[in-house]
Amino acid sequence: MECRCGQIIRKMLGNAAPDRVSLWHNQATRYASELRELKQQMVSQLENLDKEKEALRMNLDNVGTRVDRVERELDYLETQNGAQPCVDVDDKLIEQQVTLVEEKQKAKYSKLSDCSDMISSVKAMKILKRVGGLKGMWSKDASRASGKVYIFNGTNGDTIHEFVSVQDFTHSLGLSLSKDLKLPSAWSGTGHVVFNSHVYYVNQAEEMTVVKYDMVKNSVTDSAVFPMQDHVSVYGLTPETLMDLAVDEEGLWAIYATRQNERHISLAKMDSSSLDIEQMWDTNCPRENAEAAFVICGTLYVVYNTKQPGRSRVQCVFDVNDMVTNEDAPVVYFPKRYGAHSSLKYNPQEQLLYAWDDGYQILYKLIMKKKLEI
């Protein structure tokens, strides 16, 4: 009896085993097929996402191009259509304004030249190369037809790199073709100029000192402590520069800021021979978000950006002769490139701006127009 039951059980198990194996095989095959289908769906969805991402990128590029075009068109329209007065002005107010203008005319700065140009727009730009650190200054001699190029690499040091020409600078591997000029003291910031075979640089060792160095005789010609206390960074976005020297058709200028008027930028006219201060002005141009500035025909142009570098623009002007105001001057945009300018140096002989933008050396060609007398 027991033997007969065992045979029956073994027979039942023997018949069931192939069924279970077949069931497992079918299930495994179905699962594998479902996984393949899922994989194909995922691959297809990823390809669609990549296509949508590329389309979105192209749309964003097109939007950026349209925004730049609109900005240029707005700049053009602003230059063509001035704002018209829409209120009636009281006669007494007119008399007060006339009196104020007459007083300003009497207090005008005595010009050294007949220059009456102002910026209309940036015509073109040329990127020469990238050399040195993120911040620095480069320029030519602003008073001569000399082709030599001078490089101040970084925001402090005591060595200037001199190139025979722009072509030598462009073709040089780094600074390999330069002649090194070692100064007797360290320079600070990016506010230096080369003018009439002299380097004018700012030394901040103890006091704010402007040093005049003769590159022909290799000696210090003069130096002067700037007569203002409690200096602060002149530009909110370039904190390394406490004073920015500039040259235009009328000579040497100093752009600076102090704690007494720390919200705004100040301007001084200097005698390039003796370094004496001839006259000083407090401007209405804010320090906040300013990155650089330059002077053309006695007009200070302050360039602004954002803390996350974007498109630089001239947004505030100050004319020492009261010939141009912020309302008269167009908002000038620079072509957007890499980041923010650490220096902008105007060359009156060429009407070019020498710019240092995140380690790139750039030239801006300017379109000029005549100032309007008040």
Instruction: Give 171-226 pLDDT, tens digit per residue.
Output: 999 898 899 999 999 999 999 999 999 999 999 877 889 999 999 999 999 999 98
Q: Which amino acid is at 163?
A: F
pLDDT in tens, 242-290: 999 999 999 999 999 998 888 999 999 999 999 999 999 999 999 999 9
Residue carrying the six token digits 């209309």: 120
pLDDT in tens, 44-100: 888 888 888 888 878 777 776 666 666 555 554 444 443 333 333 344 444 444 444
The answer to whether residues 225 and 243 touch, using CB atoms and an 8 Å cutoff, is no
Tokens standing for 147?
Answer: 């082709």
Cα–Cα distance for residue pair 180/158, rounded to 1 Å: 10
Cα–Cα distance for residue pair 204/201, rounded to 1 Å: 10
Given this model, what pLDDT does residue 105 score? Answer: 41
Cα–Cα distance for residue pair 317/326, rounded to 1 Å: 6
Helices (H), the chain: 2-80, 91-106, 166-171
2-6, 7-11, 321-325 — most confident range: 321-325
Beta strands in the chain (DSSP E): 117-130, 136-140, 149-153, 156-163, 179-188, 193-195, 198-203, 209-214, 219-225, 243-248, 251-256, 264-270, 277-286, 290-296, 299-304, 313-319, 332-333, 341-347, 352-357, 360-370
Cα–Cα distance for residue pair 223/292, rounded to 1 Å: 24
Residue burial 296-307, b: 16+ Cβ < 10 Å; e: rest: bbbbbbbbbbee
Cα–Cα distance for residue pair 114/233, rounded to 1 Å: 32
Whether the full predicted model's pTM is greater than 0.75, yes or no, is no
* pLDDT at residue 6 is higher than 70: no
pLDDT class for 104, splitting at 50, 70, 90? very low
The answer to whether residues 343 and 292 touch, using CB atoms and an 8 Å cutoff, is yes
**CA atoms 269, 353, 144, 182: torsion sign:** positive
Q: Which amino acid is at 176?
A: S
* pLDDT at residue 360 is higher than 90: yes
pLDDT in tens, 106-152: 445 555 567 889 999 998 899 999 999 999 999 999 877 678 999 99
Cα 291 from chain centroid (whole Å): 6
pLDDT in tens, 279-318: 999 999 999 999 999 999 999 999 999 888 788 999 999 9
